Amino acid sequence: MSYKEIKIFEYMHKYDYENVFICNDNSTGLKAVIVIHDTTLGPAAGGCRMWKYDNELDAIHDAMRLARAMTYKYAAAGRELGGGKMVIIGDPKRDKTEALLRAAGRFIERLGGLYSTGTDVGTDLNDMVNIYKETRYVITLPRSYGGAGDISPATAFGIVESMKIGAKKVFGSESLNGLKVSVQGLGKVGSEVVKLLDKLGAKVIVCDISDEQVNKISKEYDVKVVEPDKIYEENADIFSPNALGGILNFDTLKKLKVKLVAGGANNQLESETVGDELHRKGILYLPDYVVNSGGTVYDTYRLFHNVHNHEFAIEEVGNLIRQNIQKIIEISEENEIPTYLAADRLAEERIKGAAKARGIRIPNERRWYW
């Protein structure tokens, strides 16, 4: 079903959303949407994405999908936060201005703490500083502003730690030395993944739509470069998608030769039926919102400890992700269900427990898997 075939309120009812805020500012040209999915665990948080969408409904539904993923990500990561997302419609290379970002900050401030933001596709730390000029509700900030700084290394660290747990299950050892890993996307996270894999002795295959990024990585590391549409066909052991979502579909599944999928891209499965098919084919899929939660855990460390300590925060990233990936594999095997369902069960169990403790009634329509 395409976004155009989904009605907003029906979609909200089906997946139990709380709010969708449409934001417009004529003076700056800002057109944005803020989505609050679930605040059972705490106030909503999630990155601010800026992207050139084909139409407004695509932007709204992307924000909704991403907000729901944040609910599950925070729940699985043990954070007292709910899921939210902000999407700004526009070309980040052409339309982004300080005035536009400050306007976005004013809309966030209006919500009074219901939603806090951070970096995402199309935004960076400098953008967060501009938003911060208008609202205190910004999580991802430079260290000079009291934040954790660039969180992409922590995200990449979590991805590789996930790979190790997955490799132990599939190949019998956590060692990635000698394994072939195809990395799709060489942005901040993908580049860091390549760096870590190179240190661990993996044989890395890369692709990106940016020739500049490909050239930079190929000069720094011994990698095999392939065209973006050929990455699925590589005779690799592990596939690590680190670009945009929806790339695991029935067309790409026909081409995949890997035994393990672990990457940082959000919403990798085009549909849940694709997750079912991965399970049927014996490919171990490590759910994206758990695999890529390293940056989130690292970034929010200061919120729960009143200080940011790099060493302790990174240690927490490794411990949480390794434990969660192991739990997901165990739940999947014990209940004979795909790993994406196992991850949802892990997250939903925590949300349900928090709701019960606080006397919050969970609507019957919400989909629980047990």
We report the CATH number of the domain holding residue 180 as 3.40.50.720
Residue 363 has pLDDT above 80, yes or no: no
Q: State percent of the chain over pLDDT 70.
A: 95
The answer on 108 and 190 residing in a single domain is no
pLDDT band at 266 (very low <50, low <70, confident <90, very high): confident
Query: How many domains in the chain?
Result: 2
- Quote the radius of gyration of the chain (alpha carbons, Å): 20
Residues 112 and 221 in one domain: no
Same-domain status, 185 and 92? no
CATH classification of the domain holding 88? 3.40.50.10860
Same domain flag for 128 and 252: no
3: pLDDT strictly greater than 50: no
Report pLDDT for 4: 52
Do 50 and 198 sit in the same domain of this protein? no
Q: Is residue 367 part of a domain?
A: no
Residue 100 contacts by C-beta under 8 Å, 6 or more apart in sequence?
25, 28, 29, 30, 88, 90
Percent of the chain with pLDDT over 90: 87
Final residue before a domain boundary, out of 102, 117, 140 = 140
- Give pLDDT tens digits for 44-76: 999 999 999 999 999 999 999 999 999 999 999
Three-state secondary structure string covering the chain: CCHHHCCHHHHHHHHCCCEEEEEEECCCCEEEEEEEEECCCCCEECCEEEECCCCHHHHHHHHHHHHHHHHHHHHHCCCCCEEEEEEEECCCCCCCCHHHHHHHHHHHHHCCCCEEECCCCCCCHHHHHHHHCCCCCECCCCHHHCCCCCCHHHHHHHHHHHHHHHHHHHHCCCCCCCCEEEEECCCHHHHHHHHHHHHCCCEEEEECCCHHHHHHHHHHCCEEECCHHHHHHCCCCEEEECCCCCCECHHHHHHCCCCEECCCCCCCECCHHHHHHHHHHCCEECCHHHHCCHHHHHHHHHHHHCCCCHHHHHHHHHHHHHHHHHHHHHHHHHHCCCHHHHHHHHHHHHHHHHHHHCCCCCCCCCCCCC
Phi then psi for residue 140, to 5 deg, are -85, 110
Q: Are residues 113 and 164 in the same domain?
A: no
Which tokens belong to 358?
Answer: 């606080």
301 part of a folded domain: no
- Is residue 279 located within the same domain as residue 174? yes
Residues 187 and 223 in one domain: yes
pLDDT of 141 over the 80 cut: yes
128 and 186 assigned to the same domain: no
Write out the two tokens for 194: 């390549």
* Parent domain of 136: 3-70+82-140
Last residue within a domain, chosen from 140, 162, 180: 140
Q: What is the mean pLDDT of the segment spanning 271-297?
A: 96
How high is the pLDDT of residue 360? 52
What is the rounded average pLDDT of the residues 261-277? 95
Residue showing tokens 């009143």: 306
Q: Is residue 184 part of a domain?
A: yes
The reply to whether 49 falls in a domain is: yes
The predicted model gives 184-195 an average pLDDT of 96
Q: Does any domain span residue 285?
A: yes
Catalytic residue among 4, 7, 14, 85: 85
- Each residue's pLDDT tens digit, 289-308: 999 999 999 999 988 888 88
Could you tell me the sign of the dihedral formed by the alpha carbons of 253, 255, 259, 261, in that order?
negative
Residue 220 lies in a domain: yes
The answer to whether residues 237 and 279 belong to one domain is yes
Please give the average per-residue pLDDT across 91-109, as a whole number: 98
Is 85 an active-site residue?
yes
Q: Examine the fold and report which residue of 113, 140, 167 is the final residue of a domain before the chain moves on.
A: 140
For residue 75, tell me if it sits in a domain.
no
Contact criterion met (CB below 8 Å) for 14 and 61: no
pLDDT value at 368 more than 50: no
pLDDT mean over 93-102: 97
Q: For residue 365, tell me if it sits in a domain.
A: no
- Regarding whether 89 and 11 lie in a shared domain, the answer is yes
Domain match, 127 and 164 both: no
> What's the confidence (pLDDT) of residue 244?
80
Mean pLDDT score, 341-350: 94
Q: Is the pLDDT of residue 259 over 70?
A: yes
The pLDDT of residue 342 is above 70: yes
The per-residue pLDDT for 287 is 96
**32 close to 23: Cβ distance less than 8 angstroms:** yes
Question: pTM (2 decimals)?
Answer: 0.86
Residue 320 has pLDDT above 70, yes or no: yes
Residue of 351, 370, 369, 8 whose CA lies nearest to 361: 351
Model confidence band, residue 354 (pLDDT cutoffs 50, 70, 90): confident
State the pLDDT at residue 365: 38
Whether the pLDDT of residue 147 is over 60: the answer is yes
pLDDT at residue number 356: 74
